[in-house]
Amino acid sequence: MIIIGFYTGLSFHVQMITVYEPSQSSFIDLYAKNLQSFKCPCRQIAIPYGSFIQVWPLFHPVCSSLFVSDEWRRALFYAGQHGLFLSSTDFLVMGHTYFNTLKTLCTIANVTISNQLFIFNQTSFVSNQALSYEEVLARTQQILTQFESNTVAEFKRNIAIIRSLTTTTYTAGYDDVYWYNIPSMYDTGDSYFVPIPAIIENCSCALSDECKNTISLYNYTSYSTVYPLGILFNIPNMYKSCFNMQSLLLSSLECFFERTCFDPIQEKINANTLYYLMINGSVLLTNSTRFSPKTTVEEMINELMIERWYENVRYEEYYQQCAPEQCSYLLTFHNNALYIVAIVIGLFGGLSVALKIIVPIIVHWIRNRMRPQVTPTDVSG
């Protein structure tokens, strides 16, 4: 009996516990206890990302600045139209095209992100069990990293298509890659169209798209009506290349972070544009961007013109949609003293009853075995 009691004391008792309609706080408390076989099946196993994940970008400040505004581009356009002798590398000539292309890049970046976000928000987060905040955060971080990577890749594909089209279609003022009509020698009415590549500083645009000239601000005598007296200064890291897009990509925005560079440009624009189009702008702030002023536009578009991504995972919304009907777990514990006593008493009582039944039978059997056997004697007369 002592052995049975000792064994019972060392034994474990396992019980299935079920909590119905657990609240978020109850689930968190239960999960934190690291319970055995803990399960909380979700009512809804597929939850749209957009219902509990927020993600949005912060663009480079130039995309919301004066330099992509209609006001700035309109002033540049008119300033570049009034001179008969403007140089093709003059900022007043190239400025409108340059910043119009920059505006286009910012717009494409914005549209690309909007399209990718629409797809992202409709995609489902799948889990058949309720997850803890840490698990949801870890999984969504992987999802967001992949989303941001895919969005940048999509933007690069769009830009590559545009560059491919502009390479064969548009010029940057150098008469590059246009089609030349040559009458047929056989007078058949046909014509041949021959591409005539531009030559920039002894660099052929037919062989390289890295050909470039520095854009400068020129000094004119009066309202740009005579040939410029000379160059006031070269605009740092701003170039004119074979194509409009390439001109922008090879350049940086360095000048537009410095008043000593921007103010003379603004003065020349106001001197050559219509009076009601005059501008009064300010430079970009170096502390408003993670990019260096010397960073090329191509380097910035390779990162989608984005300063940073903002992300917000709302765990409460996730749990409300998961909405587990119940949580269950196994609870294992040692038998307590009362239980052991009850078991021993039960065993003792059962044994007593059994003995009361069995012992008389055994005693009766033994007595029968021990009783002397009487052999009958045959007496014959």
**Domain residue extents for the chain:** 1-41+324-346, 46-247+262-322
pLDDT in tens, the chain (381 residues): 555 554 445 556 677 888 999 999 999 999 988 887 889 999 999 999 999 999 999 999 999 999 999 999 889 888 877 655 567 788 888 888 899 999 999 999 999 999 999 999 999 999 999 999 999 999 999 999 999 999 999 999 989 888 877 666 555 444 444 343 444 444 444 444 444 556 777 887 777 777 888 999 887 655 545 555 678 899 999 998 888 888 899 999 999 999 999 999 999 888 887 888 889 989 999 999 999 999 999 999 999 999 999 999 999 999 999 999 999 988 776 555 565 566 656 666 666 666 677 767 776 667 676 666 555 555 554
- How far is the C-alpha of 82 from the C-alpha of 49, rounded, in Å? 54
pTM of the model: 0.74
Residue 56: what are its φ and ψ, rounded to 5°? -150, 155
What pLDDT sits at residue 208?
75
What pLDDT sits at residue 343?
61
What pLDDT sits at residue 80?
78
Three-state DSSP string of the chain: CHHHHHHHHHCEEEEEEEEECCCHHHHHHHHHCCCEEEECECCCCEEEHHHCEEEEEEECHHHHCHHHCHHHHHHHHHHCCCCCCCCCCEHHHHHHHHHHHHHHHHHHHHHHHHHHHHHHHHCEEECCECCCHHHHHHHHHHHHHHHHHHHHHHHHHHHHHHHHHHHHHCCCCCCCCEEEEEECCCCCCCEEEEEECCEECCEECCCCCCCEEEEEEEECCCCCCCCCCEEEEEEEEEEEECCHHHHHHHCECHHHHCHHHHHHHHHHHHHHCCHHHCCCCCCCCHHHCCCCCCCEHHHHHCCCCEEEEEEEECHHHHHHHHCCCEEEEEEEEECCHHHHHHHHHHHHHHHHHHHHHHHHHHHHHHHHHHCCCCCCCCCCC
What pLDDT sits at residue 362?
72
What pLDDT sits at residue 263?
95
- How far is the C-alpha of 159 from the C-alpha of 300, rounded, in Å? 12
What pLDDT sits at residue 150?
94
What pLDDT sits at residue 345?
64
Q: Decide if 306 contacts 57 (C-beta within 8 A).
A: yes
What pLDDT sits at residue 50?
95
- How far is the C-alpha of 79 from the C-alpha of 72, rounded, in Å? 11
What pLDDT sits at residue 347?
62
Q: Decide if 242 contacts 215 (C-beta within 8 A).
A: no
